[in-house]
C-alpha cells in the first residue's frame, strides 16, 4: 500500500520536475514546478512530518510557485526556447547530471548507507515538539529570520519602486 | 488532536521504505537541477532548477530527521523553506527589472559586462 | 546581554526605523544625509560596544563552542565584527556623496545595516541553522543592493549573476549541513564536529562529500577559483560602494564561516583535505593576478585582485593544522585586507562620481587632478601588494612564514610560500602600472577637481589605518591571536 504511494509520488515528482525544465511554454513549466513541490510535500507526509508538509504546501506551492507563475505571466518572452540552447550544451548538461547521479548513487549504494534504517519504535514528532525546539534552542534563529524576511521585503520594495514617478516629485539640485 | 487522520498511526512501515529510497529520489532531483543549470539560459528556468535542488535538499533533511530520529531536522527545513521564499521574492524582482531593459529574460542577451 | 544580541538590537532597530521614518515623512526632498548620519551613528555605537566588550574584563573565550546554544559570545566573532563594522562605516560615510544623485536612500541604508547584521552574526554563530539564516540575512540585502542602479542595465546584470550563484551556493550549503546533520544528529557546530571525529569508518565518504560541498558553498562567496566566475562581473557592475561591501565584507564573512566549520572540522576529523585547500589557494592567486593583468577597467582590476587576495588568505587556512600561527596570520590579513580593499574601491568610487572615469586610460594624471584620492589609492595598492611598512605587508609576511613553518610537517608548505611570493611580485606589476599612469603620465589637464569631502574623510581614515598598523602592527596581531582558539585546536587534534 505505502510502497505504491511511494512509487506514484516518485513518478509525479520526478516527471513534473523534468517537465518544468523541458516544457515548451514557460507557464506550463511553472505549473509543473508547483506539482513537483506538491510531490515533495507528499514525501514529507510519508516521513511523518505533517507540519512541515503543510508548511511546504502553504509557502512553496502557495507562495513561491504562485509568485513564479505571476512573474512568468508578466515577462511574456517572445521566444521561450532559445537558439542558444545548443546540442553541445545539452550533451554537457546531461553528462554532468549523470556524473553527479553516478557519484552520489555509488556513495549511497555502498554497504554503509544501506545500513541506515528507519526506527519504528520512536514517537512521532508533532507540532508541540517542533514548537518547543523553535522557542528554546532555536529562538535566536527565529528572531534573525524575522530580520531576514524584513530585509527581503525592503529589498523587493526598493526594486519594485517606479523611479520615473518618484523623480518627478523630487527637486532637482 | 485528530488534526490529521493518520496522526495516531504511523504512515511509514519498517518493512517498506528505507532512508536510501528517499535519498535516491533527492539525488535524482538534484541531477535534474544540475542539468537545468548547465543547459538552460532562461533566467526563470535557472530559478526553477535552483528551486528543484532546494526542494531535494529539504527532502534529504526530513528523511534524516525521521531516521535519527530528532525534530531538529524538521525545524531546519522550516527555516530553509522560509529563507528560499524570501530569496525568490528578491530574485524575481531583479528579473522583472531585467525584462524592462531587454524585453527578454535570456541571460545570453546580457553581455554588457564582457569587455 | 551578550554582544551579538546587543549589536543586533542596535543595528536592527535602526535598520527597521529608517524605512518607517521615510514612509511617515511627508515633505519631499532627499534625506540622504540624515539617513547616512543615522546609519553611521548606529554602526559606530555597535563598534564601540564590540570593542568595549573585548576589553571590559569579562573573560570571553577565543571561540565559544561547547554548550553555547545557537549563538556564542567570543573574541573570534568580535574580531570579525570589528572588521565588518569598519567596512560598513566606510561604505555608509562614502555613500553620503555616492548616493547624492540617486533615489531610494532609506532602503539603501537600511539594507546596508541589515547586511552587516548578517555578517556579524555569521562571525558569532555556533549552530548550522543560525549560520544559514545569518548567511541569507547577509546575502539577500546585497542582491537588492547590487541592482540598485535601476536605470543601468549593467548593475542589473551584475545582480542577476550574483543572485543565481548566491541562491545556488545557499542550496549547496544546506545540502552540506543536511549531510552533517544526518551523520551526527545535531545541528550544533561543535557537537557535530565532536561526533564526526568518532564517525563509523564506513560513513566517511559522506563526511568527505559534506566537506567538499562546504568548500564549494562558502567558496562561491569567498571567490575561490572554480567558483569565481560571477565575481568580476558583479564587482564591476554593482554600484561601487556596494562592490566595496561585497569585496571587503561578504567575502570576509565567507572566511569566518569557513574557519568556524571547515578548518576546525578538518582539524578534528584529521582529514587531509588541507592539500585540496592548498591547491585551490595556488589556483586562486595565480588566476586572480593573471586576470587582473589583462583588464582595462579599474573596478575589474580590483575585483580580480580581490580574487588573488582570497588565495593568500586561504594559504593561512590550509596550513592551520600544521603551524601554530597560520590562523593568526590569516585573521590579521583579513582585517588588513578589509580596510585596504575598501580604501581602493572607495577611491575608485570617488573618481567615478567626480570624473566618471572607469578605464585605466582615464586615470592618467590623476595625481594632479585629485591629489588626495590618488595618493590614498596609490598607498592602498602598495599595501595590497604587500610593500613594507604598510599594513598589508605584515599579514602576507606572517602567512608566508606560517607556510614555511608548516614545511616541518607537510612537504608542500614551502611551495605555497614560494607561489605566494611570486604572485605578490606579479601583482606589484599591475599595481605599479596604475600608479605610473596616475603620476608619471600627462592627462587631459591638470585642473584640480573638487573631491567629495565624505570620501576624503574615509580615505584619510584608511590611510591612517594602513600606515599606523603597518608600523605598529602589535595590537592587531595580539587581537588576532586572542581570537584563535589554540587550546581547542590542540585538544581536538590530540584525539
Please tell me the predicted confidence (pLDDT) of residue C270: 67
Q: How many helices (H) and strands (E) does chain A have?
A: 9, 0
The backbone region for A97, taken as left when phi is positive above 0, alpha when psi lies in -120 to 50, beta otherwise, is: alpha
Q: How far is A126 from chain C (nearest CA, A)?
A: 18
Mean pLDDT of chain C: 89
Residue B106 DSSP symbol:
B
Are C168 and B61 inside 8 Å of each other by CB? Answer: no
Residue C451 DSSP symbol:
P
Please tell me the predicted confidence (pLDDT) of residue B69: 83
Q: At C297, is the secondary structure helix, strand, or coil?
A: strand
Rg value, chain C, Cα: 22
SS3 content of chain A, % helix, strand, coil (to 5): 75, 0, 25
Kindly report the length of chain B: 115
Query: What ipTM does the predicted assembly reach?
Result: 0.91
Find the closest chain A residue to B11 by CA distance. A46
Lowest mean pLDDT among A144-158, C19-33, C75-89: C19-33
Q: Which residue has the higher pLDDT, C199 or C424?
A: C424
Are C130 and A169 inside 8 Å of each other by CB? Answer: no
Q: Residue B3: pLDDT above 70?
A: no
- Is residue C375 a contact partner of residue C270, using CB atoms and an 8 Å limit? no
Cell of B88: 525568490
Rounded Cα–Cα distance for residues C48 and C7 (Å): 10
- pLDDT tens digits for range C33-48: 889 999 999 999 999 9
Instruction: Answer whether B29 touches A (CB < 8 Å).
Output: yes
CB atoms within 10 A of CB C349: 26
Q: What is the mean pLDDT of residues C64-72?
A: 76
Rounded Cα–Cα distance for residues A78 and A55 (Å): 35
Work out the end-to-end distance of chain C between its first and last CA atoms, rounded to an integer number of angstroms: 35
Q: Residue C24: pLDDT above 80?
A: yes
Lowest mean pLDDT among A56-60, C66-70, C396-400: C66-70
Question: DSSP of A136-162, one letter per residue?
Answer: TTTHHHHHHHHHHHHHHHHHHHHHHS-
| A172 confidence band (pLDDT: 50, 70, 90) | very low
- pLDDT tens digits for range A27-56: 899 999 999 999 999 999 888 888 899 999
The enclosing H or E element of C452 equals none
Strand partners, C71: C125
CB atoms within 10 A of CB B89: 20
Please tell me the predicted confidence (pLDDT) of residue A89: 83
A140, A156, A158: residue with CB nearest C130: A140
Please tell me the predicted confidence (pLDDT) of residue B8: 45
Chains in contact with C, counting 3 or more C-beta pairs less than 8 Å apart as contact: A, B
- Is residue C124 a contact partner of residue C4, using CB atoms and an 8 Å limit? yes
Contacts of B57 in chain A (CB under 8 A): none
Contacts of C300 in chain B (CB under 8 A): 115
The CA–CA distances, whole Å, from C18 to A105, A144, A169 equal 50, 18, 20
Rounded Cα–Cα distance for residues B46 and B35 (Å): 10
B30, B71, B84: residue with CB nearest A125: B71
Q: What is the mean pLDDT of residues C461-483?
A: 90
- Relative orientation angle of helices C204-222 and A87-109, to the nearest 10 degrees: 140
Instruction: Answer whether A38 touches B (CB < 8 Å).
Output: no
Q: Which residue has the higher pLDDT, C373 or B14?
A: C373
Q: How far is B102 from chain C (nearest CA, A)?
A: 9
| C6 confidence band (pLDDT: 50, 70, 90) | very high
Chains in contact with A, counting 3 or more C-beta pairs less than 8 Å apart as contact: B, C
Rounded Cα–Cα distance for residues C130 and B79 (Å): 10
Secondary structure of C384-441 as H, E, C letters: HHCCCCCHHHHHHHHHHHHHHHHHHCCCCHHHHHHHHHHHHHHHHHHHHHHHHHHHCC
Size of interface A-B (CB pairs under 8 A): 255
List all residues 6 or more positions away from C332 whose beta carbon is below 8 Å from its beta carbon: C394, C395, C398, C473, C476, C477, C480
CB within 8 Å of chain A, chain B residues 48-107: 48-49, 51-52, 55-56, 58-59, 62-63, 65-67, 69-72, 74-75, 77-79, 81-90, 92-97, 99, 103-106
CB within 8 Å of chain B, chain C residues 345-374: none
Q: Residue C178: pLDDT above 90?
A: yes
Q: How far is A134 from chain C (nearest CA, A)?
A: 11
Contacts of C164 in chain B (CB under 8 A): 43, 46-47, 50, 91
If we measure between CA atoms, which residue out of C236, C344, C350 comes closest to residue C300? C236
The CA–CA distances, whole Å, from C190 to C196, C327, C392, C448, C487 equal 10, 18, 32, 57, 14
Contacts of C136 in chain B (CB under 8 A): 83, 86-87
Half-sphere exposure of C385 (CA within 13 A, CB side): 20
Q: Residue C248: pLDDT above 80?
A: yes
| Mutation site for C-interface testing, chosen from A47, A151, A172 by largest number of C Cβ within 10 Å | A151
Q: Residue C207: pLDDT above 50?
A: yes
C70, C137, C202: residue with CB nearest A147: C137
B44, B82, B93: residue with CB nearest A160: B93
Find the closest chain A residue to B5 by CA distance. A50
Please tell me the predicted confidence (pLDDT) of residue A151: 95
Cell of A58: 502553504
Q: At C336, is the secondary structure helix, strand, or coil?
A: helix
If we measure between CA atoms, which residue out of C222, C358, A86 comes closest to residue B115? C358
Are A155 and C140 inside 8 Å of each other by CB? Answer: yes
Q: Residue C451: pLDDT above 90?
A: no
| A139 confidence band (pLDDT: 50, 70, 90) | very high
If we measure between CA atoms, which residue out of C444, C428, C443, C454 comes closest to residue C349? C454
pTM beyond 0.90: the answer is yes
If we measure between CA atoms, which residue out of C231, A32, C267, C298 comes closest to residue B55? A32
Please tell me the predicted confidence (pLDDT) of residue B30: 94
Q: Residue C27: pLDDT above 50?
A: yes
Q: Which residue has the higher pLDDT, C178 or A82?
A: C178
| B113 confidence band (pLDDT: 50, 70, 90) | low
| A2 confidence band (pLDDT: 50, 70, 90) | low
Find the closest chain B residue to A143 by CA distance. B79
- Percent of chain C, pLDDT > 70? 98
Are B88 and A67 inside 8 Å of each other by CB? Answer: yes
Please tell me the predicted confidence (pLDDT) of residue A77: 60
Q: What is the mean pLDDT of residues C248-271?
A: 85
Rounded Cα–Cα distance for residues B28 and B20 (Å): 12
C132, C143, C232: residue with CB nearest B91: C143
Find the closest chain A residue to C204 by CA distance. A112
Rounded Cα–Cα distance for residues C89 and C5 (Å): 20
Contacts of B53 in chain A (CB under 8 A): none
If we measure between CA atoms, which residue out of C39, C37, C2 comes closest to residue C17? C39
Amino acid at each position: 500500500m505505502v510502497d505504491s504511494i511511494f512509487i506514484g509520488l516518485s513518478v509525479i515528482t520526478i516527471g513534473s520536475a523534468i517537465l518544468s525544465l523541458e516544457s515548451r511554454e514557460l507557464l506550463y513549466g511553472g505549473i509543473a514546478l508547483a506539482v513537483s513541490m506538491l510531490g515533495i510535500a507528499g514525501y514529507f507526509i510519508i516521513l511523518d512530518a505533517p507540519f512541515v508538509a503543510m508548511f511546504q504546501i502553504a509557502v512553496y506551492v502557495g507562495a513561491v510557485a504562485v509568485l513564479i507563475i505571476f512573474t512568468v505571466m508578466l515577462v511574456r518572452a517572445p521566444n521561450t526556447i532559445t537558439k542558444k540552447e545548443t546540442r553541445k550544451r545539452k550533451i554537457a548538461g546531461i553528462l554532468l547530471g549523470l556524473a553527479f547521479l553516478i557519484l552520489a548513487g555509488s556513495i549511497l549504494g555502498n554497504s554503509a548507507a544501506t545500513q541506515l534504517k528507519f526506527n519504528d519504535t520512536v514517537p512521532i514528532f508533532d507540532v508541540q515538539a517542533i514548537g518547543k525546539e523553535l522557542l528554546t534552542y532555536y529562538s535566536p534563529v527565529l528572531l534573525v529570520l524575522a530580520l531576514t524576511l524584513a530585509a527581503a521585503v525592503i529589498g523587493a520594495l526598493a526594486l519594485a519602486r517606479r523611479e520615473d514617478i518618484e523623480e518627478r516629485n523630487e527637486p532637482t539640485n | 488532536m485528530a488534526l490529521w487522520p493518520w496522526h495516531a498511526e504511523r504512515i511509514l512501515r519498517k518493512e517498506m521504505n528505507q532512508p536510501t529510497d528517499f535519498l535516491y529520489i533527492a539525488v535524482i532531483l538534484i541531477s535534474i537541477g544540475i542539468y537545468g543549470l548547465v543547459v538552460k539560459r532562461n533566467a526563470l528556468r535557472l530559478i526553477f532548477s535552483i528551486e528543484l535542488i532546494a526542494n531535494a535538499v529539504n527532502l534529504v533533511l526530513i528523511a534524516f530527521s525521521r531516521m535519527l530520529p530528532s525534530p531538529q531536522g524538521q525545524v531546519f527545513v522550516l527555516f530553509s523553506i522560509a529563507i528560499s521564499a524570501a530569496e525568490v521574492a528578491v530574485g524575481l524582482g531583479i528579473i522583472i527589472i531585467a525584462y524592462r531593459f531587454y524585453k527578454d529574460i535570456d541571460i545570453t542577451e546580457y553581455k554588457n559586462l564582457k569587455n | 546581554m551578550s554582544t551579538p544580541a546587543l549589536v543586533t538590537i542596535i543595528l536592527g532597530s535602526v535598520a527597521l526605523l529608517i524605512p518607517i521614518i521615510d514612509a511617515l515623512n511627508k515633505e519631499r526632498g532627499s534625506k540622504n544625509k540624515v539617513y547616512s548620519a543615522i546609519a553611521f551613528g548606529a554602526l559606530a555605537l555597535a563598534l564601540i560596544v564590540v570593542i568595549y566588550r573585548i576589553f571590559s574584563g569579562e573573560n570571553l573565550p577565543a571561540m565559544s563552542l561547547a554548550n553555547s546554544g545557537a549563538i556564542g559570545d567570543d573574541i573570534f566573532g568580535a574580531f570579525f565584527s570589528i572588521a565588518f563594522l569598519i567596512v560598513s562605516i566606510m561604505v555608509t560615510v562614502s555613500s553620503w556623496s555616492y548616493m547624492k544623485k540617486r533615489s531610494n536612500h532609506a532602503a539603501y541604508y537600511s539594507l546596508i545595516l541589515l547586511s552587516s547584521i548578517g555578517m556579524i552574526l555569521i562571525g558569532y554563530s555556533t549552530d548550522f541553522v543560525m549560520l544559514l539564516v545569518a548567511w541569507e540575512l547577509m546575502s539577500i540585502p546585497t542582491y537588492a543592493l547590487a541592482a540598485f542602479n535601476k536605470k543601468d542595465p549593467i548593475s542589473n546584470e551584475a545582480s542577476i549573476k550574483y543572485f543565481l550563484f548566491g541562491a545556488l551556493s545557499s542550496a549547496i550549503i544546506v545540502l552540506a549541513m543536511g549531510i552533517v546533520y544526518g551523520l551526527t544528529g545535531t545541528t550544533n557546530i561543535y557537537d557535530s564536529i565532536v561526533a564526526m571525529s568518532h564517525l563509523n569508518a564506513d560513513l566517511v565518504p559522506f563526511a568527505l562529500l559534506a566537506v567538499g560541498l562546504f568548500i564549494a558553498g562558502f567558496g562561491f562567496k569567498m571567490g575561490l577559483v572554480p567558483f569565481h566566475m560571477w565575481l568580476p562581473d558583479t564587482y564591476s557592475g554593482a554600484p561601487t560602494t556596494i562592490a566595496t561591501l561585497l569585496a571587503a565584507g561578504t567575502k570576509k564573512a565567507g572566511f569566518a564561516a569557513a574557519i568556524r566549520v571547515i578548518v576546525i572540522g578538518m582539524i578534528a576529523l584529521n582529514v587531509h583535505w588541507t592539500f585540496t585547500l592548498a591547491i585551490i589557494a595556488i589556483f586562486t592567486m595565480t588566476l586572480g593576478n593573471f586576470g587582473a593583468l589583462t583588464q582595462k577597467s579599474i573596478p575589474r582590476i580590483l575585483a580580480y585582485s580581490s580574487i588573488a587576495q582570497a588565495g593568500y588568505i586561504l594559504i593561512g587556512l590550509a596550513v592551520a593544522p600544521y603551524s601554530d600561527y597560520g590562523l593568526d596570520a590569516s585573521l590579521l590579513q583579513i582585517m588588513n585586507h578589509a580596510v585596504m580593499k575598501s580604501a581602493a574601491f572607495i577611491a575608485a568610487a570617488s573618481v567615478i562620481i567626480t570624473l566618471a572615469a572607469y578605464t585605466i586610460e582615464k586615470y592618467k594624471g590623476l595625481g594632479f587632478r585629485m591629489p588626495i584620492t590618488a595618493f590614498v589609492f596609490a598607498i592602498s595598492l602598495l599595501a595590497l601588494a604587500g610593500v613594507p611598512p604598510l599594513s598589508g605587508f605584515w599579514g602576507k609576511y606572517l602567512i608566508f612564514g606560517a607556510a614555511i613553518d608548516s614545511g616541518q610537517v607537510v612537504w608542500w608548505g614551502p611551495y605555497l610560500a614560494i607561489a605566494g611570493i611570486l604572485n605578490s611580485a606579479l601583482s606589484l606589476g599591475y599595481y605599479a602600472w596604475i600608479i605610473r599612469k596616475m603620476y608619471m603620465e600627462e592627462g587631459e589637464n591638470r585642473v584640480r577637481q573638487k573631491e567629495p569631502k565624505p570620501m576624503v574623510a574615509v580615505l584619510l581614515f584608511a590611510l591612517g589605518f594602513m600606515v599606523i598598523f603597518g608600523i605598529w602592527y602589535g595590537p592587531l596581531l595580539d587581537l588576532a591571536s586572542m581570537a584563535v582558539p589554540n587550546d581547542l585546536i590542540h585538544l581536538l587534534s590530540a584525539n
